């Protein structure tokens, strides 16, 4: 549906060239929801703006729904209003001087040839009821909550039945509780409308809960692409592992290579563990240990692998406790049920629920 190939976008910043997007390629299947995830400045918005036609790239090809809308070498650059897209901006860009109805109707009113008023009314009421806003169509736009503004922005983006909806940080200006609620609502809405969606976010929870596939970006490039579970379980490097959840890391060296892509790794403090790793003996590696895959135990676990550690701090967080443990010079965070509360300074065992991944470390 959306096909982006070798997209490049450079900016001229007071004579210096800043690379915003550097050779980005990805495809989105029809009806899928795709996320560009990455830290601030990695090129997410720039990629989205290039797809929208709001920013002219410096190279590459963009194809939407079978039509090439940008091709650097062929000199094709289709203007925004001729691309089959709807955009939800980070600020929502709801016009304050209009009612909810008129905000949503706007893209239809500027459409040529003109639509009949009755058709505009039908289509606007249709999308307003889709987003649960049918009864407040006449309300002036400034009198809307954050969540309602978000729904209006989405309604406006889909009113022309675009092939593709682009959303830039669609939830970032909502407070934490509303964001949680709207995340689920947005996922439902996108599925119900059946539209193909590309959204950008720096929030991994948002990306994992909304998207079928995620591209993790860094410095203008895609470093890894895949289904949320796939990249969570098999991060290509430490950056991806850390970005997709507050992973613990601990350094070690491969002792022995085992069968099936596994290896015995010796940690800096002398303890050993079996990990998923294709690294050769002697290679320095970094282990990724997810807090939710560790359990605290007073005694050495039998059956599963364990590491001896010392409790540094225990923080009660309502539904769970967060325990920071020390193992040599590494700190490992463990999440436990609220009734588990070891003393700071106590010796504990960390039981590993599965074999951690050990990634090559460049020294
Ligand atoms: N109009 C511009 N002129 C010059 N440099 C720009 C321009 N727009 C973006 N950049 C630069 O391109 C890079 C990517 O910016 P972009 O806005 O795409 O990042 P982002 O991933 O959306 O970040 P954020 O999460 O902060 O929104 C940054 O280094 C940024 O400073
Ligand atoms: Mg941005």
**Closest protein CA for atom 6 of ligand 1:** 11
**23: CA distance to ligand 1 center in Å?**
15
User: 309 and 213, same structural domain?
Assistant: no
Question: How many domains does the chain fold into?
Answer: 2
Find residue 186's DSSP bridge partners: none
Same domain, 161 and 279: no
| Cα 289 to middle of ligand 2, angstroms | 30
Which has the closest alpha carbon to 170: 159, 156, 98? 156
DSSP letter for each residue of 314-331: EEE-SSSEEEEEEETTEE
* pLDDT given for residue 336 in this prediction: 80
Q: What is the DSSP letter of 342?
A: P
Query: Using CA positions, which residue lies closest to atom 18 of ligand 1?
Result: 43
End residue of a domain, out of 212, 239, 266: 239
Same domain, 219 and 254: no
Q: Which pair of structure tokens corresponds to residue 160?
A: 């022309």
Considering the domain architecture, whether residues 290 and 307 belong to the same structural domain is answered as yes
- DSSP letter at 304 equals S
Domain span at residue 325 reads 246-360
Same domain, yes or no: 250 and 233:
no
> Token pair of 227, please?
């289904």
Asked whether residue 106 falls in the same domain as residue 6, the answer is: yes
Contact (Cβ atoms closer than 8 angstroms) between residue 37 and residue 216: yes
Task: Determine the Cα–Cα distance for residues 350 and 249; give it in Å rounded to an integer.
Answer: 14
Do 193 and 85 have their domain in common? yes
Q: Rounded CA gap, 203 and 192, in Å?
A: 23
Side-chain half-sphere exposure of 167, counting CA atoms within 13 A:
32
Please tell me the residue having the least CA distance from ligand 1 atom 2. 11
| Pocket residue to mutate for ligand 1, from 20, 171, 200, 206, most atoms within 8 A of Cβ | 20
Residues near 176 by beta carbon (within 8 Å), at least 6 away in sequence:
none
Cβ partners under 8 Å of residue 221, min gap 6: 22, 23, 24, 43
With CA atoms as reference, report the closest residue to 55 among 108, 88, 2, 7.
7
Ligand 1: residue whose CA is nearest its atom 5? 11
Taking the alpha carbons at both ends of the chain, their separation in whole angstroms is: 42
Q: CB within 6 Å of ligand 1 — which residues?
A: 11, 13, 18, 20, 38, 40-46, 202
Say if CB 264 and CB 281 are below 8 A apart: no
Q: For residue 349, give both structure tokens.
A: 């065992």
Residue 96 region, left (φ>0) first, then alpha (ψ -120 to 50), else beta?
Answer: alpha
Ligand nearest 40 Cα, by number? 1
**161 and 17 co-located in one domain:** yes
- Residue 40 C-alpha to ligand 1 middle, in angstroms? 8
Q: Which of 216, 239, 262 is the C-terminal boundary of a domain?
A: 239
Tokens encoding 96: 């304050």
Locate the ligand 1 atom nearest the alpha carbon of residue 200 and give its number. Answer: 22
- Return the pLDDT at 137: 81
Ligand 1 atom with least separation from CA of 47: 18
Alpha-carbon gap, residue 321 to 328, rounded angstroms? 22
Please state, in angstroms and rounded to a whole number, the distance separating the CA atoms of residues 211 and 32: 8
Letter string b/e over residues 4-17, b meaning 16 or more CB atoms within 10 A of that residue's CB = bbebbbbeeeeeee
Boundary-marking domain end, from 191, 213, 239? 239
pLDDT value at residue 363 = 62
Q: Could you tell me if 293 and 153 lie in one domain?
A: no
Residues of the chain with pLDDT under 70: 303, 363
Q: Using CA atoms, how far apart are residues 67 and 228, in angstroms rounded to an integer?
A: 29
Kindly give the residue spans of alpha helices, DSSP state H, lying in the chain: 44-52, 100-109, 117-130, 146-158, 176-193, 204-210, 228-233, 238-243
Q: Does 254 lie in the same domain as 142?
A: no
Instruction: Work out the number of other CB atoms within 10 angstroms of the CB of residue 330.
Output: 20
Q: Give the pLDDT score at 219.
A: 96
- Whether residue 191 sits in one domain with residue 125: yes
Number of H helices, E strands in the chain: 8, 21
Query: What CATH number is attached to the domain comprising 130?
Result: 3.40.50.300
CATH number at residue 314: 2.40.50.140
Q: 354 and 227, same structural domain?
A: no
- pLDDT for res 36: 97
Residue 276 phi/psi, 5° resolution?
Answer: -85, 115
- Ligand 1 pocket mutation, candidates 17, 44, 58, criterion most atoms within 8 A of CB: 44
């Amino acid at each position: 549906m959306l096909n982006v190939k070798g997209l490049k976008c450079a900016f001229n910043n007071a004579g210096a060239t800043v690379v915003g997007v550097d050779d980005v390629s990805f495809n989105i299947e029809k009806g899928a929801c795709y996320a560009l995830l990455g830290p601030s400045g990695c090129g997410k918005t720039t990629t989205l703006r290039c797809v929208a036609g709001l920013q002219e790239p410096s190279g590459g090809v963009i194809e939407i729904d079978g039509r090439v809308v940008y091709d650097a070498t062929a000199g094709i650059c289709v203007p925004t209003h001729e691309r089959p897209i709807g955009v939800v901006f980070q600020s929502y860009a709801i016009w304050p001087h209009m009612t909810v109805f008129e905000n949503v109707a706007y893209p239809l009113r500027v459409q040529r040839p003109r639509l009949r008023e009755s058709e505009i009314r039908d289509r606007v009421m249709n999308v307003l009821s889709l987003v649960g806003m049918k009864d407040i169509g006449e309300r002036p736009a400034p009198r809307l909550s954050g969540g309602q503004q978000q729904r209006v922005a989405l309604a406006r983006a889909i009113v022309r039945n675009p092939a593709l909806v682009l959303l830039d940080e669609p939830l970032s200006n909502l407070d934490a509780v509303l964001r949680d609620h709207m995340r689920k609502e947005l996922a439902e809405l996108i599925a119900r409308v059946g539209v193909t969606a590309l959204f950008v976010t720096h929030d991994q929870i948002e990306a994992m809960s909304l998207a079928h596939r995620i591209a993790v970006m860094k410095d203008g490039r895609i470093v890894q692409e895949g289904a949320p579970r796939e990249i969570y379980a098999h991060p290509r490097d430490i950056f991806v592992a850390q970005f997709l959840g507050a992973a613990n890391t601990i350094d070690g060296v491969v002792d022995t290579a085992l069968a099936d892509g596994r290896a015995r790794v010796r940690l800096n403090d002398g303890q050993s563990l079996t990990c998923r790793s294709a690294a050769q003996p002697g290679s320095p590696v970094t282990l990724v240990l997810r807090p939710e895959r560790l359990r605290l135990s007073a005694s050495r676990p039998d059956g599963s692998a364990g590491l001896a550690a010392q409790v540094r701090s225990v923080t009660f967080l309502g539904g769970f406790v967060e325990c920071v443990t020390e193992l040599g010079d590494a700190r490992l965070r463990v999440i436990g049920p609220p009734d588990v509360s070891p003393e700071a300074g106590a010796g504990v065992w960390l039981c590993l629920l599965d074999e951690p991944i050990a990634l090559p470390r460049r020294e």
